[in-house]
Structure 1
Amino acid sequence: MLQTLTLFFGNMLLVFGALMPILNPPGHAPIFLSMTANYNSEERTILARRVGIYSFVLLLVSMFIGSYVLEFFGVSLPIVRVGGGLLVATAGWRLMSASDEVYKTEEMVEINQNRPSNEELRQRAFYPLTFPITVGPGAITVAIALGAGFNGPGLQKFSMPLASLTAVAITSYSLYLCYRHAERLLKLLGTTGSIIFLRLSAFILLCIGIQIFWDGFSVLFGELLAQYLKL
């Protein structure tokens, strides 16, 4: 019994420790703010809850069947990084190019009566807030790699999936908590501070997208160069 519990908690810490630095809920909270600045408090709560749920599902799907899906379509992980990096960089560029009126204060948002429907909120919660902003190519790659441990010997074969399920649940809930309370920072900064802060977050998002793209492109270019040198 003790051996089983030790293996379970060891695997759970392994998955949690692998996912948390990449998902980085506190670090992604400012980006969440920059992309939801024109929503009110209730709508941000809905979005934060949806992002937590979608992140949980997306990570589990990546762990359990991600490698099979990529193999079925003939897509490599570097290609996933290139495509995901372009999506993240595009989202960052749109925020950088947006007018200052997009970054409204809470009072300005409440005055606007033309609010999005629940269906629109659900759609936006998945794209782009969950994928590729929160659960991007890096997190998916790690999840797929962790899923390879599901076929281990003995108790590992049963412990790893259960430990992964628990770790992903904890990680997803931490995402919800950080996103749910991110608006407090927006109120403390005020209108001018919010615009400056969210502009910087948009620039960081753009840089993250370029970095993800470059990581994938470097691998593909290296493979192409290696094949060329063999000719």
Structure 2
Amino acid sequence: MNVDSTIQQFLLALSGLISIVNPIGGALIFAQVTGAYSHAERVELSRRIGVYAALVMLGALWAGTPVLNFFGVSLGALRIAGGLVVMSSAWTQLNRPEAREARKQAEASGTGGLPPPPSPEGRPEATAAALSEIAFFPLTLPFTTGPGTIAVAITLGANRPAAMADRLGFYLGVSLAALCVAFAVALVYGSADRVVALIGPVRARVAGRLFAFLLLCVGTQILVTGIHDVFGPFAR
């Protein structure tokens, strides 16, 4: 296993996933839509969201490319299409962050809003069940790890090396990146009140634009790799 290659894949996946998930911007909306819940309940929600987000990202990273290959989608085509999708998402975030914030707000609230917090006299099992339900939908899917995150994860998974001997380091790097992002989500969401007080919406929007530019670079790199895969043999 090539350690340098593993670190490189870790950094590429980390920059792509952290940019599309944007835990800081998500924490501002999380604090708004869960304002009726107690601090302990929001901490528990953040932990569950972190676990669910890790499962979603790992599933897309590991299984997304094989599933598409099963349907006859070549690796080069997947990289080109995925790169374009990532670049399009990044460009939208870079130029219209307000539109993305409004969409995230709607996703987190759901069609009818989050259910009211459980009553204090309710049984602990019912409280845990209610928190678990809203933690997955809508707070994890589609709010935290929605279609954009899944598309980025599948695209990153498509960047796997052709040699089987190099894939262990690749999957180790991208999996660690997904776990780091999920941990960041749990940590930042759990401290959402402090994040709101410390950063505020304006600084969060600036950070979001920086993340978007980084995501644009990642998408461009994946697109270039896909073009090289498809058209490289014709240039020889």
TMscore range, shorter length = 0.5 to 0.7
Match of 1:5 among 3, 6, 9: 3
CA 1:132/1:159 → structure 2, altered by over 3 Å: closer, same or farther?
Answer: same
Whole-angstrom distance in 2 between the partners of 1:52 and 1:71? 29
Deviations 1:198-222 (A, max 9, x none): xxx9xxxxxxxxxxxxxxxxxxxxx
CA 1:42/1:93 → structure 2, altered by over 3 Å: closer, same or farther?
Answer: closer
Whole-angstrom distance in 1 between the partners of 2:13 and 2:3? 15
For 1:65-214, list aligned pairs within 5 A: 65-69=63-67, 89=103, 92=106, 95=109, 113=120, 117-153=127-163, 155-184=165-194
Contact preservation (8 Å) 1:41, 1:183: no
Partner of 2:38: 40
Shift of 1:152: 2.4
Deviations 1:169-205 (A, max 9, x none): 111111111101002356x59xxxxxxx8xxx9xxxx
Shift of 1:14: 0.7
Partner of 1:64: 62
Shift of 1:114: 5.8
Whole-angstrom distance in 2 between the partners of 1:50 and 1:157? 30
Whole-angstrom distance in 1 between the partners of 2:136 and 2:120? 24
CA 1:127/1:70 → structure 2, altered by over 3 Å: closer, same or farther?
Answer: farther
Whole-angstrom distance in 2 between the partners of 1:61 and 1:147? 10
Give the aligned CA root-mean-square deviation in angstroms: 4.0
Q: Letter of the 2:28 partner, please give it.
A: P
CA 1:153/1:124 → structure 2, altered by over 3 Å: closer, same or farther?
Answer: same
Shift of 1:150: 3.2
Contact preservation (8 Å) 1:12, 1:167: yes
Deviations 1:126-167 (A, max 9, x none): 000000000011110010111113352254322110001111
Q: Letter of the 2:29 partner, please give it.
A: I
TM-score by length of 1: 0.62
Residue 149 of structure 1: SS of its match in structure 2? coil
Shift of 1:44: 0.5
Shift of 1:31: 1.3
- Which one has a bigger Cα radius of gyration? 1
Residue 117 of structure 1: SS of its match in structure 2? helix
Shift of 1:52: 0.5
Shift of 1:37: 1.2
CA 1:158/1:185 → structure 2, altered by over 3 Å: closer, same or farther?
Answer: closer
CA 1:69/1:126 → structure 2, altered by over 3 Å: closer, same or farther?
Answer: farther
Deviations 1:58-95 (A, max 9, x none): 00001111245567799x999xxxxxxxxx94961895
Shift of 1:96: 10
* Structure 2 gaps, min length 5: 73-77, 83-101, 206-236
Partner of 2:15: 17
CA 1:61/1:94 → structure 2, altered by over 3 Å: closer, same or farther?
Answer: closer
Whole-angstrom distance in 2 between the partners of 1:119 and 1:163? 34
